């Protein structure tokens, strides 16, 4: 099954998206945006940048948990992964984003918030 984006509106009226794998697990989460069109732009940026291995920054949390950031060509952070139990799992997460980021399916849930 192919991945997809979920676009949501927070209780404070801001917008946020996740990229979900085919198993419905979120693999990348965006920041919160003031405008829906900006969140939609973040999805487009994920599609454009997510296939470029060089745009991923591998990091460790303060607790030593591996995670990654996806950055645009201008260095801006597009999305952040969950915390992983190992560097190998984190690297698998990156490969999952690479494989699913070009999805054109967007589940717009902004009207249900």
Q: Structural domain tally of the chain?
A: 1
pLDDT in tens, the chain (113 residues): 689 999 999 999 999 999 999 999 999 999 999 999 999 999 999 999 999 999 999 999 999 999 999 999 999 999 999 999 999 999 999 999 999 999 999 999 998 64
Q: Which domain holds residue 39?
A: 4-112
Q: What is the pTM (predicted TM-score) of this model?
A: 0.93
| pLDDT tens figures, 31-60 | 999 999 999 999 999 999 999 999 999 999
Q: How far apart are CA 89 and CA 35, in angstroms?
A: 33
CATH of the domain at 62: 2.30.29.80
**What Cα–Cα distance (Å) separates residue 113 from each residue in 13, 51, 94, 99?**
8, 31, 29, 29
- Count, residues in the chain: 113
């Amino acid at each position: 099954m192919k991945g997809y984006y979920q676009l949501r509106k927070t209780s404070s009226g801001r917008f946020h998206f996740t990229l979900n794998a085919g198993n419905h697990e979120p693999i990348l989460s965006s920041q919160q945006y003031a405008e829906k069109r900006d969140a939609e732009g973040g999805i487009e940026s994920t599609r454009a940048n997510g296939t470029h291995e060089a745009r991923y920054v591998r990091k460790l949390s303060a607790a030593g948990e591996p995670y990654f950031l996806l950055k645009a060509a201008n260095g801006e952070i597009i999305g952040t992964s969950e915390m992983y139990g190992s560097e190998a799992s984190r690297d698998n997460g990156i490969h999952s984003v690479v494989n699913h980021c070009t999805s054109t399916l967007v589940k717009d849930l902004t009207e249900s918030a």
